[in-house]
Amino acid sequence: MPQTEARKTLKDAPIMWRRINSIGMILDCNSTYAANLGYAKSEILGKPIFEHVPKDSWGDMNNSLKIWFETGKVTDRKITFKKQNGDTFSGLLQATSLYDENKNLLGSNTVIFDLAQMSDEKIKEYEEFFKESIKRLDEIKEKEYDQFDENSKSEYDGLKEMFEMLSKIKLDDLKK
């Protein structure tokens, strides 16, 4: 899957990001997602999202998927995630849908915050990243969007929606 300019904003982003298809298989992720879970990216792609949660959290993940199917997004879902070494962490999942040009669901852009990492410094880094990413996406829209093919437009629109949702989260509340 070729990377658009919009997706390049996520390459080494401070957030854990993954893209899944409509049945919960991981299509792509960034290096932060892979590193935090302790895998190589190649070990993640093509796997179901349930591989990264302990069995006792499958119900929570399933409920998250159900909400996503019903509403097109997921906000503030606390789910326990499992690293390759077996360690777990409490994460907060945020997801927005990705649609094709005919408004058919393709999948989601999902961001996971490790709640144990929510320091003032990390929150500031996230907020700055969201602001810069929205600015970068606005520049892409202004200069290149009209020349995009339908897949690139879909990708751009999905990422723009995701960053706008993320920028509205009150990250300080996640420290509690």
Low-confidence ranges of the chain (pLDDT < 70): 1-3, 175-176
Domains of the chain: 5-174 (3.30.450.20)
Give yes or no for a contact between 103 and 81, defined as CB atoms under 8 angstroms apart. Answer: no
Place of tokens 């503030």: 76
**Residue 144 confidence (pLDDT):** 86
pLDDT in tens, 46-68: 999 999 999 999 999 999 999 99
Nearest C-alpha neighbor of 82 from the set 112, 44, 54, 50: 54
Q: Where are the alpha helices (DSSP H) in the chain?
A: 5-8, 31-37, 41-44, 58-71, 120-143, 150-167
